[in-house]
Structure 1
Amino acid sequence: MKLNIAIAAFGIAGLVGAAHAQDPNLARNLAATCANCHGTNGKSLGGMESLAGEPKEKLLQKLADYRSGDKPATIMHQIVVGYTDEQLDLITTWFAAQK
């Protein structure tokens, strides 16, 4: 019984990973969650910094600093923990590619 449950869990995890790999819009869709504060496509209209065109490494470092608590925040320290490292990589890659 335990083996069947482990096999089923492994299979489901594999399907979820495969679904992410097959979705060509995953990075864009994940990045869209940032639009409320950072503007559509990461182009802020003021108040928050724009993310579009920023170097990926710079964005990843800021996110790591929010996650660790090294960078003070009102909400970002809570938001960033909701994403995996893989998702953050997709998001920052997408924003870096925006003009």
Structure 2
Amino acid sequence: MNQTPTLAALMAMALLAWPAGARAQAPDATALQARNWAAACAGCHGPAGRAPAGSVVPSLAGRDQSELVRQMQDFKQRKREATVMQQIAKGYSDQQIEAIAGWFAAVR
């Protein structure tokens, strides 16, 4: 029996995870949208950006927003080599990348 979670299960876990620092206030529509975009990263980077122990894919949770934006922009502009991230990054606008990076930066 396959014990690997499905992409739908990983996305559901990521959607349920909300950055601890943001729980005190109700999230606005932009923050909710950023969370939804970030959920697409769960398949590789783990629920809420927390990659499994020993993973070759890095965790994104709690990393500096500007660092994440810079890396995504480098993927998008093909300045950084990757297996699939160049394709994924080019599908996001600069505003979406900022929002996603901000969401991951807030995850604790």
The reply to whether TM is greater than 0.5 is yes
SS in 2 for 1:25: helix
- State the match for 2:36 in structure 1: 29
- State the match for 1:79 in structure 2: 88
Q: Which runs of 5+ in 2 are unaligned?
A: 1-27
Superposition CA RMSD, Å: 1.4
SS in 1 for 2:90: helix
Distance in 2, Cα, partners of 1:93 & 1:38: 16
Q: Which runs of 5+ in 1 are unaligned?
A: 1-20
AA aligned to 1:39 is G
- State the match for 1:58 in structure 2: 67
AA aligned to 1:71 is R
Moved over 3 A (4+): 21-24
Q: How many residues align?
A: 79
**Would you say 1:49 and 2:85 are equivalent positions?**
no
1:21-42 residue CA offsets vs partner (Å, 9 max, x unmatched): 8455111100000000000000
Distance in 1, Cα, partners of 2:29 & 2:61: 24
AA aligned to 1:26 is Q
TM-score scaled by length of structure 1: 0.75
Instruction: State which structure, 1 or 2, has the greater radius of gyration over its C-alpha atoms.
Output: 1
- Checking the alignment, whether the CA contact within 8 Å between 2:31 and 2:103 is kept in structure 1 is no
TM-score scaled by length of structure 2: 0.69
**Would you say 1:68 and 2:77 are equivalent positions?**
yes
Distance in 2, Cα, partners of 1:97 & 1:53: 6
Which protein has the bigger helix share? 1
